[in-house]
Structure 1
Amino acid sequence: MPKALTPAAVRNAKSADKRTWVRDGETALYVQIEPYGTKAYVVRFRPAPGAAQISRTIGKVDDIDLDAARLRAADIIRAAKAAPEAPAAQPKRIGGITFGECLDAYAAGPCAEIKSGALRIAAMKKHCAAWLALPVASVTIDDAETLVDRLKKEGKGTTANRVVAYLKHFGSFIAKRPMRAVPANPFSELDRVHREVEREVTLSIPQLACVWLASERLGRPYSTLYRALILAGLRLREVAEAPKAEIDTTARLWTIPAERMKAGRAHHVPLSSALQAVIADALPGELLCPSPKTGRALSGWSKIGDSMHKEAAAIAEAAGVDALPEGWTNHDIRRSVATALGEAPVYADRDTVEDVLAHSRTKLERTYNKSRALEKRLAVLEAWAGVITTEVERLRHSAEASAKPKPDVAAFAADLSLNNSEAARRAGVTEAAIRKARKRIAAA
């Protein structure tokens, strides 16, 4: 009889050459371990004798604890057994329906319920374009492996992993009712080809201040976008696509609805005084950051990023700040803000930082802790705004001082020749420069 899992057993479970599962006693909960080491809780069961096995991923081991995973598994099993069985559909003719037609059905079905469904379909149409007109039954795992291997060789390992995940889910959809376009999932044995490494790039507070000043050089709406990213620690699209209707300046609260949040839950952003000033300075219109050309939400991040990199690098050099990390991205700003909040001089506690970032808590925490801690978050964001705006002003003055032209000693040569050095002194020429100019005049 399998032993019940413990947190230590989950933590110490080792990966093998292929995907493995460790069962939680006699329950339907398993720890699924990938060859590259990632662990996730999954529930695998049959809702009735003879029924097809159902497999559902609950979440990564790092994101959810064992007790919460057990509760979630029980909820999934209970819901599956209570749901009425869907009426049987006539199998579609194998080989007749195309990959593209199946993809359209997939977009209207399972993907319509996924927050990132539209992005998933767009990625599949882009990378699987050669298959769209082919009979879906003619696309094999060999074709898929060729595709992901090519993406990996092009240096797109993370993209290759995403395509693997998309194809496996898509293959499961077309093999089950009501589609039944193929007898079995053709991509079920497809494996990831790239070991993903956590990104470590962070920008220091002076470097973030350089980004702030660079955005001011580009003008609105880019200054609105980047200053809001730095002050609130939000994701790029959460700011770039924000309508002003979400923001209540009287209540000092920005409420981002669930459909615009990655976690699918509404996020409340207390407005610091600095962020209120940024919002008040935004371009007129319904959007916080409208495109200057179209009036719609900003896009074209590669061009904007190139301009930001050049301007920020120039400001850093002029102000004597360490060069910004090569290839820094907009999302690195969010990581940098999170890091700065937890360090001197803000010293925010971990839970408050996670709340500011709108990171997901475990289901158990969400069930019992309904506090939004808005006052605590506002205090942290006000403190952070004070830190970053002070640094911005310091660098602004430093950059202006370095850009100020030096007094032209030669321009005062005539005055010096007449022994009228007072005008030169008033213009900022030093005594040493005056003496050198006199020597040159005497030598001439």
Structure 2
Amino acid sequence: MARPINRLSARAVQTVTKQGYHADGGGLYLLVKPTGSKSWVLRFRRGGRLREMGLGSTQVVSLQEARAAALEHRKRLAGGEDPIDTRRAARSAGSTFGQAAEAYIDAHRAGWKNNAQADQWAQSLRDYGPAESMPIAQVDTALVMACLKPIWSSKTETATRVRGRIERVLDWAKVHGLREGDNPARWRGHLENLLPKPSKVKPVRHHAAMPYVDVPAFVARLCEREAKSRRALRFTILTAARTEEVTGSTWDEFDLDAMLWTVPASRMKGGREHVVPLTDAAAAILTPLCRKAPPFALSENAMLYLVQKAAPKGLGLPFTVHGFRSSFRDWAAETTDHANEVVEMALAHAIRNKAEAAYRRGQLLDKRRSLMEQWATYLGLGSDPAL
């Protein structure tokens, strides 16, 4: 039988006076020294030898924080790492904010959707975060405010992302023993008292959408010239997909025999696998492409630049790529008889209505295929799929 974990309580941590090790489970111990001082210790076996790793004093590390740190180190053990060696390496390689940020990004890169996300993290922290040479232990509230305040009103969305990224880097540093105390970039109970809510500073703006009646003529313009971004945008509009779903797609997601595109949960905003029925027009875009590279290997903003940049490089329009999903939604609602849940599933939207959600559990592929074929015909691509 596995030994229980989380044996200690916050009250017990405060009141225990007996010297020695007091087990919380999972190798985490509260150590009470002869002087009465208390600290957290993680004990584990490595290579047949019992090792002991200090996790900090109870004065600065809470019971919950100690448990979180112990869990993180146990994961490393399970992966074959020695957490003590890892921490030593982190201390030598992550003593500055820039080094800690780089180490955090490298540690999480494999779990992100694509390399572009890692690049965005690095670039935003370089542009707006603490100086890379700043000792990680010296990053405090005043420094975080100095980073955020200049852009909180003018670049609110960017500022909120930077704040969250600074917070995560500092949490990483604390787990690795590079700093102590509360996180100065945390929002709740801290920065929320110093900065206005983002929604109050800059109300959320919806993506500018082209009226659906104008989309067929726009698609015709896209077909006038052959280019990677134009081809990708046609495919995006045809499938009502998000930009990152298209630009991050790989050939193993497509089954042209079954006429299906399966976007894995790891690449979906909602974290659920999404199956897209392909029309003849969409498949015709894919068929001639080289299989040695991803079908739509473009930068994150390539299609947006195509839409918004002035001629000759762009089309000079005040709309966004994401807005074409709204165009599709408006067209379906105003000109077709397709059920709401069919349209919402085509957009991979979460369904809040319980009855609709229950109905949606099936893939509804036949109904969705009919919807997408009708959309392709409306765009002027249904009758002649050769692009």
Q: TM-score, normalised by structure 1?
A: 0.56
Equivalent residue, structure 1, for 2:9: 49
Displacement, 1:327? 2.7
* Residue 215 (structure 1) aligned with residue 222 (structure 2): yes
Equivalent residue, structure 2, for 1:151: 151
Equivalent residue, structure 2, for 1:351: 341
Query: Secondary structure of the equivalent of 1:187?
Result: coil
Name the amino acid aligned to 1:163.
Answer: V
Spell out, residue by residue over 1:388-408, the C-alpha distance to the aligned partner (whole angstroms, 9 max, x if none). 217999xxxxxxxxxxxxxxx
Distance in 2 separating the partners of 1:347 and 1:312: 35
Equivalent residue, structure 1, for 2:332: 341
Spell out, residue by residue over 1:102-145, the C-alpha distance to the aligned partner (whole angstroms, 9 max, x if none). 21332244565454762563244333465211101222222222
Distance in 2 separating the partners of 1:331 and 1:338: 12
Equivalent residue, structure 2, for 1:104: 102
- Give the structure with higher Rg (CA): 1
Taking structure 1 as reference, are residues 214 and 250 closer, same or farther at Cα in structure 2, changes over 3 Å only?
same
Contact 1:228/1:278 (8 A) holds in 2: yes
Distance in 1 separating the partners of 2:383 and 2:159: 40
- Give the unaligned 5+ runs of structure 2: 1-5, 14-63, 75-82
Displacement, 1:269? 0.8
* Residue 257 (structure 1) aligned with residue 257 (structure 2): no
**Matched positions, count:** 300
Equivalent residue, structure 2, for 1:131: 131
Taking structure 1 as reference, are residues 218 and 298 closer, same or farther at Cα in structure 2, changes over 3 Å only?
farther
Taking structure 1 as reference, are residues 48 and 327 closer, same or farther at Cα in structure 2, changes over 3 Å only?
farther
Contact 1:232/1:381 (8 A) holds in 2: yes
Name the amino acid aligned to 1:190.
Answer: L
Equivalent residue, structure 2, for 1:171: 170
Equivalent residue, structure 1, for 2:77: none
Taking structure 1 as reference, are residues 284 and 130 closer, same or farther at Cα in structure 2, changes over 3 Å only?
same
Displacement, 1:225? 1.2
Moved more, 304-313 or 366-375: 304-313
Query: Secondary structure of the equivalent of 1:377?
Result: helix
- Aligned equivalent of 2:371, options 369, 380, 400: 380
Distance in 2 separating the partners of 1:225 and 1:93: 45
Name the amino acid aligned to 1:357.
Answer: L
- Give the unaligned 5+ runs of structure 1: 1-45, 53-76, 291-295, 315-325, 394-444
Distance in 2 separating the partners of 1:115 and 1:241: 8
Distance in 1 separating the partners of 2:266 and 2:374: 30
Spell out, residue by residue over 1:276-317, the C-alpha distance to the aligned partner (whole angstroms, 9 max, x if none). 33334x444444645xxxxx5456626534458779869xxx
Spell out, residue by residue over 1:15-41, the C-alpha distance to the aligned partner (whole angstroms, 9 max, x if none). xxxxxxxxxxxxxxxxxxxxxxxxxxx
Distance in 1 separating the partners of 2:310 and 2:130: 36
Equivalent residue, structure 2, for 1:329: 320
Distance in 1 separating the partners of 2:72 and 2:315: 61
Query: Secondary structure of the equivalent of 1:342?
Result: helix
Equivalent residue, structure 1, for 2:78: none
Taking structure 1 as reference, are residues 299 and 161 closer, same or farther at Cα in structure 2, changes over 3 Å only?
closer
* Residue 187 (structure 1) aligned with residue 185 (structure 2): yes
Name the amino acid aligned to 2:225.
Answer: L
Displacement, 1:381? 0.8
Displacement, 1:379? 1.2
Displacement, 1:352? 1.5
Distance in 1 separating the partners of 2:206 and 2:283: 31
Query: Secondary structure of the equivalent of 1:103?
Result: helix
Contact 2:210/2:327 (8 A) holds in 1: yes
Name the amino acid aligned to 1:351.
Answer: E
Distance in 2 separating the partners of 1:255 and 1:284: 19
Compute the RMSD of aligned alpha carbons.
4.1
Distance in 1 separating the partners of 2:206 and 2:326: 9
Query: Secondary structure of the equivalent of 1:259?
Result: helix
Contact 1:212/1:223 (8 A) holds in 2: no
Contact 1:243/1:286 (8 A) holds in 2: no
Spell out, residue by residue over 1:402-438, the C-alpha distance to the aligned partner (whole angstroms, 9 max, x if none). xxxxxxxxxxxxxxxxxxxxxxxxxxxxxxxxxxxxx
Taking structure 1 as reference, are residues 336 and 367 closer, same or farther at Cα in structure 2, changes over 3 Å only?
closer
Contact 1:115/1:264 (8 A) holds in 2: no
Distance in 2 separating the partners of 1:180 and 1:248: 48
Spell out, residue by residue over 1:57-84, the C-alpha distance to the aligned partner (whole angstroms, 9 max, x if none). xxxxxxxxxxxxxxxxxxxx9xx99x97
Matches within 5 A, 1:253-402: 253-280=260-287, 282-287=288-293, 289=295, 296-297=297-298, 301=302, 303-306=305-308, 327-344=318-335, 346-360=336-350, 370-389=361-380
Distance in 1 separating the partners of 2:216 and 2:184: 51
- Aligned equivalent of 1:228, options 235, 238, 250: 235
Distance in 1 separating the partners of 2:282 and 2:107: 40
Distance in 1 separating the partners of 2:7 and 2:218: 55
Name the amino acid aligned to 1:156.
Answer: K
